Amino acid sequence: MKIFFDGGCRPNPGMMEIAVVAGGRVHVRRDLGHGARVDAEWLALIEALRIARSLALDDILLLGDAADIIGQANGTIRCRGAGLAHLPVFQAMVPDTGRLRIRHVKRTQNLAGIALARLHPR
């Protein structure tokens, strides 16, 4: 199953919010406190994995538009800064069985990013 995730804050740093789209259902959380964009993106990725696990999926494809976070989670980019606190939380949640892939998509293709943008019309 494809699960889209996105996190942001307004302003940056500011109040964090995330969105996850799984199985056509949008999950939005706006009560995540004060932080930076990097924190919000990590929290969105962690929430996406939590939702995937709650659905008992054995083939998980997480899709987001934050290339730096995806690279850190995949181990292709060295984790620094805020990621150092979030990466162990994420790794502890990775299922022992099944297949987990985390891929980058363009912002215009990220259904979770589109959902967050609709919360703040211009």
Mean pLDDT for the chain?
93
**CA distance readout (Å), 119 to 14, 15, 28, 116:** 16, 14, 10, 5
What's the Cα-to-Cα distance from 106 to each of 29, 110, 112, rounded to whole Å? 22, 6, 12
Of the listed ranges 29-38, 44-53, 101-110, 113-122, the least confidently predicted one is 113-122
